[in-house]
Structure 1
Amino acid sequence: MIRFTGFFLLILSLISCKNSSKEKLENIENPNSNTTTVELFSMQLASKSLTPYLLATDEDVYVSWQETENDSVFKLKYAKLGNTSFSTPETITQGSNWFVNWADYPVISGNDNLFLAHTLQKSATGIYTYDVMLNRKVKDSSWSQSFKLHKDNVEAEHGFVSMLPMPDQEFFVTWLDGRHTVNVSEDKRAMTIRGAFVTPEGEIYNSVELDGKVCDCCQTTAALTANGPVVIYRDRSDAEVRDMSIVRFVNDTWTSPKTLYNDNWKINGCPVNGPRAASIENTLVVAWFAAPNEASQVNVIFSEDAGEHFLKPIKVDLGNPNGRVDVDLINEQTAIVSWLEDASIYARTVSKDGKLGKVVTISDTSEKRSSGFPQLEIFKDRVFVAWTKVTNEKGSKIQVGQLPLNSFLD
């Protein structure tokens, strides 16, 4: 039995907690608009920074990222938006044995005065042999030593993590787990997805398998509805169809996997292009990339009952997308979705009824893997965005900006 005290009373206070400061710094004009301006924040960064991740709590906006001076020792850092700029960056942890990757990036979550973050630490010499290591922090104190999320001790891939704040200052964590990709016969090898809960003290409990065969290297996503957490991910059938599936935590039990929408995208390898989701009470929105019959598309779909049923999907791209999506809800009727297309980061509103807002260009970028996955968070009356700017063949620098929410509204 999951130990939730007053779950349904407390859960509403954790759903869509988004407020914001309005400070702005350096301006960059949007090349496709006379009215939209992305305001960049100046930040103290090492010579190489990458994989930004945005977190909005009920009080602040944070960004985390990885950085290095020499490609041997990496640091996971984070900073908070203050009155005039981001705060002095704080190191969460550092290491010389990390798996640092453009697609499998660290995330951070906040819950009241607690924070939880993760990195990927090599467990053996193989390229994809690494573990998920957690670090926790009580506000205004130091970060804890790293501790392992999973207990299998198998030298295999573990990553693509998503985190949620839960009642009683707990966290939910989901991840791809490769314990069944090694040391078994080839016909039984499969990537799995698992979930677990983490107490305020860092105890990990109720670690379970959510699906026994999923796509190997697409990001997971999770959202907290009024009914409980849901997890969305790219599934994998025996026929190599890799569509989106959902599992829901209902009455202290995880439901069986259910296809979110039948794209019928058959592909014999992982596209490295996961979904993103957001929720307000029992309104759930999911964005994802698919390319059935080589027709690339970014779709958004809404649910009004916490993912039990879904409305029709809505295509939001301009015709040639690369994916790398993010999404957040303005309210229970309308979301903002972002995606990568033709070396630019675009965003627009999309409503349950299918109405699409004007396209806003966030920034030009690169289609290279090193440009990573752009991030988006709505926070009060502002929209925060973050991405990795490729500076040269081996260099990169994260960018963090904001623009008014009304920039997206007609």
Structure 2
Amino acid sequence: PKIALGRDGAVFVSWTRRIEGRFAGDVYFSRSLDGGRSFEAPRPVRDTPEPTSHRFDTVTVTPSGRLYVAWIDKRDLAAAEAAGEPFAGASLYYATSEDQGATFSPNRRVAAHSCECCRLAPVPAGEDRIRILWRHVFDGNIRDHALAEIGPDSASAPDRVSHEDWMLQGCPHEGPHMAAGSDGEHMVWFSGAPDAGGVHYGYRDHARDSTIRLQHLDARPGAGKPQVAVRDGHVDVVWLAVGAERSELLHVHSHDAGRSWSTPRAVATSAGSVDHPQLLTDVDGVWIAWHTQDEGYRLLPPPASSFEEP
């Protein structure tokens, strides 16, 4: 499930319910207007009579209070298959609400040919809009990343923001992550490209319309699942490095908005099954949440950082 907080104690939740069919789901939404004490009956966000597989949902609230739900949608794939036409990947769709989720707009498409099983990364953009980062299927079955700005009535054209040229006949189940900066977005992602595999960082500078401050944070096999958080110009990134005997949770820090980075340090390790790490921010700073089979749920402070100039 995904959760977002609104005004006056409102709580918004979205999730994917399994439906009949292979890799099929239906995105549902519910809300609480009393701080989570009670929730309304769940309802689907789609505006089609029948689900055609909608999954990997996100829910985001803007400073104005507008609510966005976005997801990976296979209605265009189903239509292409019915017409006997080729269609790569799936599509990215969204719906928006200006009344705290009481009603939603019609479903609108952001882009066709999104990767079909990679999670999405949205952030608020201004008072009433959001930006969303996703893995896209470019020509030649290249699965790099694209960014778009979404408003109440329309979305910008996809803007390619990573260029590892990873050709893959399938979906890696490895979505990107993003955090808003002062004049752009801090982005992290995984690539399996032969000459550029592992964990990457980049800053999308909207004034330059380019991705700058690129860093290949970890090129080792097994490195992936990155997360990024920003607080007062400080940037934290965590990721997993999965080995033959144990998984390692790694962290780097930048005190200058991604221009220079600390030496990667291990936060924790685990020999059992592990979940994806998450970065959480509050008034006191940044915390790392990690759930593992052997150790359970842990909330960890980032390690002390030593800095190196790139």
Structure 2 Cα separation of the partners of residues 378 and 321 of structure 1:
27
Aligned partner of 2:214 in structure 1 is 313
Aligned partner of 1:195 in structure 2 is 94
Partner of residue 217 from structure 1, selected from 88, 99, 117: 117
Aligned partner of 2:304 in structure 1 is 407
Query: 2:239 aligned with 1:336, yes or no?
Result: no
Query: 2:66 aligned with 1:161, yes or no?
Result: no
* 1:160 shift after superposition: 1.1
Deviations 1:70-94 (A, max 9, x none): xxxxxxxxxxxxxxxxxxxxxxxxx
Partner of residue 279 from structure 1, selected from 157, 174, 180: 180
Deviations 1:215-240 (A, max 9, x none): 11011101113373101100002411
Question: What is the aligned residue count?
Answer: 295
| Structure 1, unpaired ranges of 5+ | 1-105, 392-396
| Structure 2, unpaired ranges of 5+ | none
Amino acid corresponding to residue 297 of structure 2 in structure 1: Q
Aligned partner of 2:280 in structure 1 is 377
- Runs in 1 of length 4+ with deviation above 4 angstroms? none
TM-score where L is the length of structure 2: 0.85
Partner of residue 266 from structure 1, selected from 167, 175, 181: 167
Is 2:6–2:100's contact at 8 Å kept on the other side of the alignment? no
- SS for the counterpart of 2:86 is helix
Structure 2 Cα separation of the partners of residues 353 and 189 of structure 1:
34
Instruction: Decide whether aligned partners of structure 1 residues 357 and 250 sit closer, same or farther in structure 2, where only a CA change above 3 A counts.
Output: same
Is 1:276–1:325's contact at 8 Å kept on the other side of the alignment? yes
Structure 1 Cα separation of the partners of residues 24 and 152 of structure 2:
35
Is 2:87–2:113's contact at 8 Å kept on the other side of the alignment? no
Aligned partner of 2:289 in structure 1 is 386
Is 2:227–2:239's contact at 8 Å kept on the other side of the alignment? yes
Aligned partner of 1:363 in structure 2 is 268
Query: 2:144 aligned with 1:246, yes or no?
Result: no
Is 1:226–1:282's contact at 8 Å kept on the other side of the alignment? no
Amino acid corresponding to residue 269 of structure 1 in structure 2: G
Is 2:272–2:292's contact at 8 Å kept on the other side of the alignment? no
Amino acid corresponding to residue 216 of structure 2 in structure 1: K
Aligned partner of 2:138 in structure 1 is 237
Give RMSD over aligned pairs: 2.6
Is 1:284–1:306's contact at 8 Å kept on the other side of the alignment? no
Structure 2 Cα separation of the partners of residues 153 and 307 of structure 1:
43
Instruction: Decide whether aligned partners of structure 1 residues 155 and 186 sit closer, same or farther in structure 2, where only a CA change above 3 A counts.
Output: farther
Identity in percent? 17
* 1:213 shift after superposition: 0.7
Is 2:47–2:106's contact at 8 Å kept on the other side of the alignment? no
Query: 2:233 aligned with 1:326, yes or no?
Result: no
Structure 2 Cα separation of the partners of residues 271 and 294 of structure 1:
17
**Greater relative contact order, per chain length (Cα 8 Å cut-off, separation 6+):** 1
Q: Which has the higher strand share?
A: 2
